[in-house]
Structure 1
Amino acid sequence: MTINELRVLYRSERLVEAIVEQADQGGLWVVEFRDSHGGILALTDPQGEQRHYSDINSASKSAMAVGFNQVRVEEL
């Protein structure tokens, strides 16, 4: 889901957590969100491809752009 789509869910209180975690590819990070039903939603680009970040700070900023004040970081 794109940042704008995730913002809509956040504002309607359907997202409960933002998670930044290391991707399988070396040194890259991804952003995911846990919804109120326990599902996981990945942050994607407009074409539906999961977004990858080269550093944790950029990934965290994107997670917070959805509306969260803090994010959980999971390292491999």
Structure 2
Amino acid sequence: HSEEDPASAEYHAIDKDKYANPLPHVLMLTAIVVGVSTLGLALAISQKIYRSFGTLEEDEILNELRPGEHD
């Protein structure tokens, strides 16, 4: 039997219509990862603020930071 040399083997053109373009899928996955990461960071910051001030109300936090100023 004769073995075919891979360097001389014929390669056929790939029919691009049979394959999906991966770029839209990659972009959607990236958007999901960025969204989840942003949400996680926002929740971590909110938790830190709540632990420090006991509230998430902006007016109460500002009153605690600037006790002499009242609206």
TM over 0.5: no
Per the normalisation by structure 2, the TM-score is 0.19
Per the normalisation by structure 1, the TM-score is 0.18
Greater relative contact order (Cα < 8 A, sep 6+): 1
Higher-Rg member (1/2)? 2
Task: Give the structure with the higher percent helix.
Answer: 2
Task: Give the structure with the higher percent strand.
Answer: 1
